Amino acid sequence: MDPAEFREWGKKMVDFVADMWEGIPDRTPLPDVKPGYIQALVPPQAPNYPEKWQAVFDDLEKVVLSGVTWWHHPNFYAYFPTALSHHAIVADILSGGISAIGFTWKSCPSMTELELAVLDWLVSALGLPDHFRNSHPGPGCGIIQSTASDATLIAFFAARAKAVEEIKNSPTMLQSIQTEVGQKFKDLLGKSPFSGKKGAEQEGQHSSEIYLHPFHDPAVFDRLVAYCSDQAHSSVEKAAMLAGVRLRKLRSERDERYGNFSVTAATLEAAIKEDRAHGLHPFIFLLTMGTTNTCAIDPIRELATICNREKIWAHVDAAYAGGFLLCPEFRGMGDGLELVDSFNYNAHKTMMVNFDCSPLWLKDGKSAVKYFNVDPVYLKHEHQANTADYRHLQVALGRRFRSLKIWFVMRTFGIEKIQQYLRDGCAHAEVFSRLIAASLTFDLVVPRNLGLVCFRIKNASNEVNEELCNAINEDRRIHIVPSKVGEVYFLRLALCSQLTTEKHVRFAFDVISEVAQRTLDKMSLIGS
């Protein structure tokens, strides 16, 4: 492709995307395809010789668009939103055009420095603690991760290494753990290649070619236990699994503040006490601000205070709800954030920034860096002592120019416009929530929080509600997904699309009511 062709077909693609957007309301949120549909449309081998661009464009509707689930359809209410704006798409064109890999400052200075700058913008805009600022003289920092799952994994790895370091370096901690566990923990440490003995006589250390990092020593993290609420996202379970540590899911209870399912201080204290008595070392608590099931908020101040006292890393997963901190009226849910070790949210969920863009802030990024640092000669550069090298705080080496999306979106919308979008979503969710609360057929499962409404058919079994959910999605006029808390199955309506208006949520309620009536009639026929 020469520059002239790129100009022509690149512009055609922009037109194609703009047309596609205008046509979204004429589609249905769920596509009408069956698994494997593409086999009939795409040949098994790539072509040997170039095809015309026109031929590729001609295939787009048939092959690609016909199998898209339209997350931005006004009647799409499933999962949580994924953000989108023309502004962010334009930024992604530039990122793709520059196509540099900014793992170190030297490998692309503007990529590193713009990221440092816009994450500081976000600290102010979201009202986060000042010590998270990259420009703050302290050790705090912010970095854009790909996803909330990545951020959780980074928090797990950093907290795990910190715990191992503390245990190995602290005779008193070693002692206290040893007295509580008796010999077991001491034996484990005795086996660790870094616990005293040197050289080839250690177990697993018969060759100098074998290396184990002292702070990622499995002999120690065998005794570690992580905590989260039983409402935490599945990515927490995945992080614990991949980090090779135990996970204890703490029982959530209805709280007074939101009438939703969060973990209490008493539950956390009891778990710590019990686990310590059994020789385990609690090292991280994954708090959730805005759970996926019901948008519950763990009480950050109470829980993080305990974590600080007990030297447990407090990480807040605010993937969905975090963006709402942009509006001062929602900041109450972030009360206590100055106490946490790390905080993450998905700008790609609620802040008009296309996937992927998940800012993570660390209270002490400087220390965390050493747990991820590997330093081959080819990555060294003359400024590394005085600049940020983001490769030290992520799993991958390479990274994209994601800060462009935040920069474009915040500049060309302004904070006010994004606040308005968030408030509108909540207002529409409130309309739907009131319709549910006033209906004779349905009940709210928890009070609406932000843009999420959880509901079910009153006095009906899980089976009936499951039947309703399936029937709604088979009907295909709207799309929602179910969830479960404890033994209670329910339906979730999440405000997702920027195209959704009050008219659409009223339509959703009418569709749900109509399908519910049909479902109830059918079930009573089956029952009789």
Ligand X SMILES: *Cc1c(COP(=O)(O)O)cnc(C)c1O
**Can you give the binding site for ligand X, defined by CB under 6 A?**
80, 147-149, 233, 235, 288, 290-292, 317, 319-320, 346, 358
Cα separation values, 361 from 129, 133, 355, Å: 10, 8, 18
Please say which residue, 164 or 287, places its beta carbon nearer to ligand X. 287
Please say which residue, 358 or 500, places its beta carbon nearer to ligand X. 358
Integer Cα distance of 24 and 329 in angstroms: 32
Q: Could you tell me where the beta strands, DSSP code E, fall in 224-367?
A: 224-229, 246-250, 253-254, 261-262, 281-288, 313-317, 342-344, 358-362
Please say which residue, 147 or 267, places its beta carbon nearer to ligand X. 147
- Helix locations, 44-201, DSSP H: 53-59, 86-98, 109-126, 148-169, 171-181, 183-191
Please say which residue, 320 or 390, places its beta carbon nearer to ligand X. 320
- Rounded to a whole number of angstroms, the minimum distance from the CB of residue 290 to ligand X is 6
- Rounded to a whole number of angstroms, the minimum distance from the CB of residue 42 to ligand X is 27
- Rounded to a whole number of angstroms, the minimum distance from the CB of residue 286 to ligand X is 9
Integer Cα distance of 95 and 117 in angstroms: 17
Please say which residue, 281 or 349, places its beta carbon nearer to ligand X. 349
Comparing CA positions, the residue from 369, 304, 297, 309 lying closest to residue 341 is 304
- Rounded to a whole number of angstroms, the minimum distance from the CB of residue 330 to ligand X is 16
Residue 155: what residue type? A
Residue 16: what residue type? F
- Rounded to a whole number of angstroms, the minimum distance from the CB of residue 239 to ligand X is 10
**What's the angle, vertex CA 191, arms to CA 190 and CA 197, rounded to 5?**
70
- Rounded to a whole number of angstroms, the minimum distance from the CB of residue 462 to ligand X is 23
CB neighbour class for 391 (10 Å; exposed up to 12, middle 13-18, buried from 19): buried
Comparing CA positions, the residue from 315, 184, 321 lying closest to residue 240 is 315
φ/ψ bin of 204: left (φ > 0), alpha (ψ from -120 to 50), beta (otherwise): left
Integer Cα distance of 229 and 233 in angstroms: 9
Instruction: Report the chain's terminal Cα–Cα distance, integer Å.
Output: 68
- In three-state secondary structure terms, 228 is strand
Strand-pair partners of 15 = none
Please say which residue, 229 or 433, places its beta carbon nearer to ligand X. 229
Dihedral, CA of residue 301, residue 306, residue 310 and residue 312, to nearest 10: -50
- Rounded to a whole number of angstroms, the minimum distance from the CB of residue 83 to ligand X is 11
Please say which residue, 344 or 500, places its beta carbon nearer to ligand X. 344
Please say which residue, 148 or 307, places its beta carbon nearer to ligand X. 148
CB neighbour class for 232 (10 Å; exposed up to 12, middle 13-18, buried from 19): buried
Please say which residue, 150 or 467, places its beta carbon nearer to ligand X. 150
- Rounded to a whole number of angstroms, the minimum distance from the CB of residue 155 to ligand X is 12
Please say which residue, 312 or 347, places its beta carbon nearer to ligand X. 347
- Rounded to a whole number of angstroms, the minimum distance from the CB of residue 457 to ligand X is 25
- Rounded to a whole number of angstroms, the minimum distance from the CB of residue 91 to ligand X is 19
CB neighbour class for 446 (10 Å; exposed up to 12, middle 13-18, buried from 19): buried
Please say which residue, 75 or 292, places its beta carbon nearer to ligand X. 292
- Rounded to a whole number of angstroms, the minimum distance from the CB of residue 342 to ligand X is 14
- Rounded to a whole number of angstroms, the minimum distance from the CB of residue 430 to ligand X is 20
Q: What are phi and psi of 46, to 5 degrees?
A: -75, 150
Please say which residue, 128 or 357, places its beta carbon nearer to ligand X. 357
Q: How far is CA 476 from the centre of its chain?
A: 28
Q: How far is CA 121 from the centre of its chain?
A: 20
DSSP string, 392-408: GGSSSS----THHHHHH
Strand-pair partners of 253 = 262
